[in-house]
Amino acid sequence: MGLHTLRLATVPLTFSTFTSRLFLKPIPPNTLQTLGQFSRHVQPRKPFLVRAFSASAAVHETPPTQASDSSAARPQWKASIDFKWIRDNKEAVEINIKNRNSNADLGGVIELYENMVNLQKEVEGIREERNNVAKKMKGKLEPSERERLVEEGKSLKESLVTLEEDLVKLQDELQQVARSIPNMTHPDVPIGGEDSSAIRKEVGSPREFTFPIKDHLQLGKDLDLIDFDSASEASGSKFFYLKNEAVLLEMALLNWTLSEVMKKGFTPLTTPEIVRSSIVEKCGFQPRGDNTQVYSIDGTDQCLIGTAEIPVGGIHMDSILLESVLPLKYIAFSHCFRTEAGAAGAATKGLYRVHQFSKAEMFILCRPEDSETFHHELIQIEEDLFTSLGLHFKTLDMATADLGAPAYRKFDIEAWMPGLGRYGEISSASNCTDYQSRRLGIRYRPSEPLQTGSKKGKASLPATKFVHTLNATACAVPRMMVCLLENYQQEDGSVVIPEPLRPFMGGIELIKPKLR
């Protein structure tokens, strides 16, 4: 499928804020303390951030007209990829690529890297020769010898310019080819396709119904909650209108989720829903590839986000954090937009797979040694949320071929959807280690004593390290609605609201059929 583009129309748009559309309960004091820390965590000019980051990860912006250049064009940004490690661990990387069913060109990366190293040595050799010529010319010389040295210096300069241009092109090509290499994989991850994924935990059991059950499409129609037909006319397939109690249910799900996750020390965010294509790429997505899930805005270098993970990842881009502020834990609300290229069939009908939806996403930045612990914390939060709603679900350790390029390890949660007659994914939690931070340029400086250097006893700061990033879905509204409507339906056609959500719906306990 080709590139999905959106053309901007000159129509004024207004967007209401998240909080103005939700029914909020009184915020407890400990939550206010969490909110009080918000600006300290996200404002890039606070003391713990150093904006002058190394040039290797700097963003080089180009005019919007260059947004659709071919892959042969010079990259707009450079990732801090450890090419030497890749070369020295060629066998392990090759096995990892195979296990993940990746099409990465490892041989091409190593060849380009070795060519780059050799060319760098050649460039350094010529620079040294130029310096030697310059030193010789400082002394007393015969006119003929001086003229010879001048000509030699010109020749070396011309050679150096050519080689430096070749080096830049080679570095850019290496960056482009190396971006396809996926993250390494946790040793406990099952090897194989999705069917090889291992069940970590199973909670509850499928509800036994004593009456014919309906799927969420029929329930949504009978209870006047969801309108797919009008949305199809207005926007196209895989869009929908929510109506009546369904609107309150969406708000309740998001408010309840935010309140519960904030109790765990997460800072709430709303995010931009349009970002630069480079941010999408740095997070490990392909905004302009074949079968892309990303909507790109025609004539710009911008995209609609498919998940809040992308703009949240950009908050601390090209920054050096102090170790003392880690971990940074966010719970972000956004609308998400996905092309759903290639999605078709009964398994994707209704709310299960749509182009636009609301979602609350958790995101953590932490020290490398802490990321595995936080990965388990994220999946535990998800399991606690879904258990509180009375859902039957299983947690899976996803197999290698089902991992996206950034993920070192990924846990999925699949819940029972009786109307659809199957389990469906409602959440995932991924540990991306330093895959994203090396591209986004997010480092931290360890809290270690100053080190005394050998030169005149001067003290130096400890070397920076890349943070690890993790993300997890706290609430993807449409699929949660599928679960709630189908699992809580009653024989008379009504749907019971789970108890934790009732205070966020103004006390509504039951969605009843409308009187006609």
**Tens digit of each residue's pLDDT (9 = 90 or more) over 358-370:** 999 999 999 999 9
Cβ neighbours for 22, distance < 8 A, ≥ 6 positions apart: 251, 254, 255
Task: Decide: helix, strand or coil at residue 251.
Answer: helix
Task: Choose the final residue of a domain: 123, 156, 179.
Answer: 179
Domain holding 382: CATH number? 3.30.930.10
Alpha-carbon distance of 153 to 156, in angstroms, equals 5
If we measure between CA atoms, which residue out of 292, 353, 282, 302 comes closest to residue 6? 302
157 and 252 share a domain? no
Q: Calculate ∠ Cα 235-241-242, nearest 5°.
A: 165
Ligand-binding site membership of 5 (annotated): no
Alpha-carbon distance of 510 to 406, in angstroms, equals 42
Burial of 322 per CB tally in 10 Å (0-12, 13-18, 19+): middle
If we measure between CA atoms, which residue out of 42, 76, 60, 47 comes closest to residue 312? 42
479 catalytic residue (yes or no): yes
437 catalytic residue (yes or no): no
Ligand-binding site membership of 388 (annotated): no
472 and 391 share a domain? yes
143 and 283 share a domain? no
**pLDDT band at residue 193 under the 50/70/90 scheme:** very high
Mean pLDDT over 252-269 rounds to 98
pTM score, two decimals? 0.83
Lookup result for tokens 């960056």: 175
If we measure between CA atoms, which residue out of 437, 395, 435, 445 comes closest to residue 415? 395
Alpha-carbon distance of 76 to 59, in angstroms, equals 7
Mean pLDDT over 260-272 rounds to 98
Residue 59 falls inside a structural domain: no
Residue 121 falls inside a structural domain: yes
295 and 150 share a domain? no
174 and 201 share a domain? no
Task: Choose the final residue of a domain: 179, 209, 243.
Answer: 179
Residue 58 falls inside a structural domain: no
207 and 240 share a domain? yes
The distance of Cα 174 from the centroid of its chain, to the nearest Å, equals 23
Instruction: Judge whether residue 356 has pLDDT over 60.
Output: yes
Residue 468 falls inside a structural domain: yes
Q: Of 100, 179, 276, 338, which one is the catalytic site residue?
A: 338
Residue 166 falls inside a structural domain: yes
**pLDDT band at residue 148 under the 50/70/90 scheme:** confident
Alpha-carbon distance of 442 to 445, in angstroms, equals 10
Tally of CB atoms within 10 A around 367:
15
Per residue in 280-338, pLDDT (tens digit) is 999 998 876 667 889 999 999 999 999 999 999 999 999 999 999 999 999 999 999 99
Q: Of 179, 288, 353, 439, which one is the catalytic site residue?
A: 353
Residue 46 falls inside a structural domain: no
Lookup result for tokens 């990303």: 294
Residue 43 falls inside a structural domain: no
Both tokens of 293, joined, read 């899930």
Per-residue pLDDT at 68: 41
Tally of CB atoms within 10 A around 430:
26
87 and 202 share a domain? no
Ligand-binding site membership of 281 (annotated): no
Alpha-carbon distance of 409 to 397, in angstroms, equals 8
Instruction: Judge whether residue 515 has pLDDT over 90.
Output: no
Q: Of 278, 358, 479, 486, which one is the catalytic site residue?
A: 479
Per-residue pLDDT at 415: 98
Mean pLDDT over 339-354 rounds to 77
438 and 302 share a domain? yes
233 and 174 share a domain? no
Q: Of 197, 428, 430, 437, which one is the catalytic site residue?
A: 428
142 and 199 share a domain? no
User: How many domains would you assign to the chain?
Assistant: 2
Q: Among the listed ranges 57-71, 116-130, 158-172, 215-229, which one has the minimum average pLDDT value?
A: 57-71
Task: Choose the final residue of a domain: 153, 179, 205.
Answer: 179
Alpha-carbon distance of 339 to 109, in angstroms, equals 31
Ligand-binding site membership of 464 (annotated): no
Ligand-binding site membership of 395 (annotated): no
Both tokens of 226, joined, read 């969801």
Task: Decide: helix, strand or coil at residue 361.
Answer: strand
Ligand-binding site membership of 355 (annotated): yes
Ligand-binding site membership of 10 (annotated): no
Per-residue pLDDT at 14: 36
208 and 284 share a domain? yes
319 and 406 share a domain? yes
Residue 34 falls inside a structural domain: no
Ligand-binding site membership of 361 (annotated): yes
CA dihedral 346, 350, 353, 358 (to 10 degrees): -170
Alpha-carbon distance of 135 to 126, in angstroms, equals 14
Ligand-binding site membership of 338 (annotated): yes
353 catalytic residue (yes or no): yes
Tally of CB atoms within 10 A around 116:
17
Per-residue pLDDT at 454: 58
Domain holding 100: CATH number? 1.10.287.40
Alpha-carbon distance of 394 to 204, in angstroms, equals 9
| 331 phi, psi to nearest 5 deg | -125, 115
Q: How many CA atoms lie within 13 A of 128 on its CB side?
A: 6
Q: What range does the domain containing 147 cover?
A: 83-179
Asked whether 513 and 223 are in contact (CB, 8 A), the reply is yes
Q: How many CA atoms lie within 13 A of 299 on its CB side?
A: 4
Instruction: Judge whether residue 174 has pLDDT over 60.
Output: yes
Q: Of 425, 445, 494, 502, which one is the catalytic site residue?
A: 425
